[in-house]
Amino acid sequence: MGELWRDEYKLLEQKLAVRGLNVKAIRERIKGFRCETPSWGYGPSGTRFGVFAQPGEARTVWEKFEDAAECHRLTGICPTVAVHIPWDKCENYDKLRAFAAERGVAVGAVNPNVFQDKRYQFGSFGHPDKQVRDKALEHMKECCEIMRATGSDILSLWFADGTDYAGQDDFRARKRRFEEDLKATYKLLPPKSRMLIEYKFFEPAFYGTDLPDWGMALLMAQKCGEKAQVLVDLGHHAQGVNIEQIVATLIDEQRLGGFHFNNRKYADDDLTCGSVNPYELFLIFVELVAAEAESGTLPYPIAYMIDQSHNSKPKLEAMIQTVEFIQAAQAKALLVDRKKLAACQAKIDVVGAERCLTDAYAIDVEPLLKSVREELGAALSPLEAYRASDYHERRAAERTGKVAGAGLGVN
């Protein structure tokens, strides 16, 4: 039974060839896909009501990288780890860089934190007090220096700035402050790096958020320069918003910088991908794989990053589960018969066009993924391999001390 997938893969390969799909090219696209995991997804997290400790969870930045390395070892596609400053602040970033490299991973995006300090109660870049804005800008400078030290090429920006009540502040004044400080941050970027501007329609601001949607993020990116792009967090949209249309628009404007993958039932729930609306992620990848296949469509590689806070599920299990689902969504999107889809769209065959998508989505891609994972040297079934190992038990026995620096993973 353990090798049955090989026969299933051969059958799938034959079916795809009959459909006229280039199986070799599809395999190469799957092999080349990479997804970044977040340090804060391995450490303590919680809600407004408290932080809920789990046995064996990472207590320090070093332990976070150990867990991230295990995730990469099993999946084969997660070689970088996003860090959050000051949650992951350390005395020696050269040492952190070497520590990560020894375990087969590297520092990915650097995420500044301008929302947790009490000075930022009424905003950071949007704050009326210039001293507070300058403090936030100084933190951006610090994070850019960390990028230089670690080899990171992405500054990932999310702001909690906004207002809770009408009349609390001037909308246009806040916009101008943001524009000024984002431009200043842009100038601080290390060479060959970029900054991604994230948006969120509400929370913690409940009347007006300063960067509430993709339009405002795009506007700010355009004002800063070509190395500034938009970051799409799947949980940062109102119910029913067509995220795949936003993605397609940002691609067409050459400003799609990257993603924070998660899932949500209500708003920014930070649930594991595919746990609520699996078809949505597939439709997003339908747009992405088409764009990446077109020469010159995107000026920079899309940064595929996870942003999740696991409160109910074990940390590493939840992360591996999400990575597997993201990989499956990309694979399914690669199986869409694009020629047939284009033909159906040209003659306005609505049913036929939709079936091109649903037919691809219905395909069991697990044999294909196992074949690719085997070639990558990863576990054939990463989550099963992790659950069958003693990794969690060993870490739980080792990690019994106090947690050092916990973030809630709220962005």
Q: H or E segment at 208?
A: strand 208-209
Q: Two tokens at 331?
A: 């694979």
Q: Which CATH superfamily hosts domain 22-394?
A: Divalent-metal-dependent TIM barrel enzymes (3.20.20.150)
Nearest alpha-carbon partner for 91 in 300, 410, 404: 404
Handedness of CA 194, 114, 247, 284 (dihedral sign): positive
Dihedral angle of Cα 127, 128, 132, 136, to the nearest 10 degrees? 40
Q: What is the pLDDT of residue 406?
A: 47
Quote the CA–CA distance of 371 and 359 in Å, as a whole number.
21
Question: For residue range 73-100, what is the model confidence (pLDDT) as tens digits?
Answer: 999 999 999 999 999 999 999 999 999 9
Alpha helices, H only, 76-202: 93-102, 130-150, 171-188
pLDDT at 295: 64
| Torsion, CA 188, CA 81, CA 273, CA 345, rounded to 10 | 60
Contact assessment for residue 272 and residue 325, using Cβ atoms and an 8 Å cutoff: yes
CB of 110 closer than 8 Å to CB of 87: no
Note the pLDDT tens digit of each residue in 354-370: 999 999 999 999 999 99
Q: What is the reported pLDDT for 403?
A: 56
Positions of the chain with pLDDT under 50? 405-406, 409-410
SS3 60: coil
pTM for this entry: 0.95
Residue in 310, 328, 331 with CA at minimum distance from that of residue 274: 328
**Domain regions of the chain by residue span:** 22-394
